[in-house]
Structure 1
């Protein structure tokens, strides 16, 4: 390698290292800003600054769009502890991820991926899953971490989400009345059938008996099949 090539190569390494340092500082500053906004929110942004939300405060102080400020605050609420109305502490939902964010080691897409996976994990597994995702994130991108999270969720719930045990909702049975332009004194009644065909009849606007023969054309309630049996948890 020539001297010029070696010089350019060393310059590239220095520049890349500098980019990494600056990005880490930016990430750390954003995480610290989020923690500060959460603290202001808990103390009362109206009492302290006269604003109805910390997003509006940030918009006024830093010219940050309100939607961007709301996203920042929502993310910070997940990473940092809070307080109830009576002053009792609320532990952070993802404390290890919050510590890594303050150190500048996680991007905002990575934080959102980890928090999204943890929201679907049972509480007894959240700490170990968070540790696994955060460790994997040190050498992977957010898409790879999302894929790992999907595999973890599939392992914890091989049959997917719990089936909905609520009672079935009867399908809507309705008719549609439409006054036609050509016959203002009449009303067009349309009853969609199960085969997606349309049965129509013209009746006087106040004529109820003309509607009754069309009601059987409405689709019947479909039969409900029982949910499939679930396999025992691993």
Structure 2
């Protein structure tokens, strides 16, 4: 693209934004009802056409690695954070299926779903239709011939121009049944491709939805687990005398008596069996001894106020919110040993140049302080981060000292550097983020220093409440009490005063 084309495209987008402002300010009162309805249809068609053009823009960003100009390390991060698209994975899947990608040899290939791409570009179908088409195409058995696959995509695109996404899904089911009426074409490749398990976000009650598509072997194994661990009376959290683990570990009489007291549904027993199995794996050492420098246990951060008042929500190192009552129940079952840093500790927190990797104690300190990746707007929980030498990179003489370290996820840890598209980390000296490291992009003039507050929303709300209602007679808690690896449960406990061990 030459300079003239570039300036023309920029001018066209500027003109579009002005036209949108004009349309938004326009009054439709003089229009007839038929005209108003027609305008709504034309508007929706224009939005769909813009979706298609937006896919092309995203592909251009990916091909040219232009996401680095926004400080992102991948097209996925650019779509999720810079564009703030609700379902970035689905949007990228649409780009890959509807746009002409480059082959390894450099030439452009035809879109995987050309008919769907054409209809979206014309505005006759929307993003929801596209997702249905791609979902159906992903479920077509690998053994189906290319010709029949192409016919299926063409049929789906045609149906999409007249059907709602829900009705299009039903049509897709019928197409799949027609392509493989007796299921003989489905093979191990299809089963392997379609296996999945997803854990949804926590809702307002801190509950999470687990959904899965299990392959036959995993289903058979899970059936065995449920038969033994989800039997009536087994692993009942509401019955302290309920046998734990497998039925074979308890006497028949104890199981029978527990079953008589068991009023749970089968679905609730399945849930409790899974919880007992996960607890057994964590407490039994099946997860090994370390994950990114931390023991593979349930690790939480709580304040003295939460412990004293038995109220509030605590955060685990993997990003889960736990009611304080559940956290204390876990703590009661663990053999905990707390090493409080406000008095003394045998754990070294300052290593200087003597070692490069952070110790477990240093990671506990960082967890209590940051709770997740320190890069602004990054939602990666602490358990999936690395320890970043935030004051100065290790290769440049940085020190492995607790006050010079900050957690960063892998992509953001590698994003730090001197290049214009990279980032610099610097300690914040004032405000609510004082003492933590912030991030700024290497721009000219320098970008502002930004801290990540996503993982500390509760703390900020408490600060706001305190500033509004007045002090509660306590100093804010920012430091840590670290545990000595009890089985299955660890606490990183903020305390008001810290004396670091040399």
* Aligned residue number for residue 95 of structure 1: 114
Q: 1:168, 1:106 → 2: CA distance?
A: 39
Deviation at 1:145, TM superposition (A): 1.5
* Aligned residue number for residue 44 of structure 2: 23
* Aligned residue number for residue 36 of structure 1: 57
Q: 2:149, 2:99 → 1: CA distance?
A: 16
Which of 155, 159, 184 is the equivalent residue of 2:182?
159
> How many matched pairs?
176
Query: Structure 1 residues 130 and 163 mapped into 2: Cα distance closer, same or farther (>3 Å)?
Result: closer
Which of 95, 104, 125 is the equivalent residue of 2:148?
125
* Aligned residue number for residue 136 of structure 1: 159
2:116–2:130 contact (8 Å) kept in structure 1 = yes
1:79–1:97 contact (8 Å) kept in structure 2 = yes
What do residues 195-218 of structure 1 show as CA deviations (whole Å, max 9, x unaligned)? xx8349xxxxxxxxxxxxxxxxxx
Of the structure 1 ranges 123-132 and 158-167, higher mean CA displacement relative to structure 2 is found in 158-167
Deviation at 1:120, TM superposition (A): 2.5
Tell me, yes or no, if structure 1 residue 150 matches structure 2 residue 192.
no
Deviation at 1:54, TM superposition (A): 3.2
Across the aligned residues of Structure 1 and Structure 2, the Cα RMSD in angstroms comes to 3.7
Q: 2:69, 2:40 → 1: CA distance?
A: 37
Identify, as 1 or 2, the structure richer in helix. Answer: 1
Q: 1:47, 1:168 → 2: CA distance?
A: 43
Gaps of 5+ in 2: 1-28, 190-214, 226-242, 253-502
1:45–1:52 contact (8 Å) kept in structure 2 = no
Gaps of 5+ in 1: 1-7, 175-187, 201-234
Say which SS state the counterpart of residue 32 (structure 2) adopts: helix
Tell me, yes or no, if structure 1 residue 198 matches structure 2 residue 250.
yes
Instruction: Within 5 Å, give how 1:49-128 maps onto structure 2.
Output: 49-58=70-79, 64-65=83-84, 67-121=86-140, 122=144, 123-128=146-151
Which of 66, 76, 86 is the equivalent residue of 1:45?
66
Q: 1:93, 1:14 → 2: CA distance?
A: 38
Query: Structure 1 residues 192 and 87 mapped into 2: Cα distance closer, same or farther (>3 Å)?
Result: farther
Deviation at 1:127, TM superposition (A): 1.7
* Aligned residue number for residue 230 of structure 1: none
What do residues 87-135 of structure 1 show as CA deviations (whole Å, max 9, x unaligned)? 3444321111111111111111111111111223333312211222222
Q: 1:48, 1:152 → 2: CA distance?
A: 44
For normalisation by structure 1, the TM-score amounts to 0.60
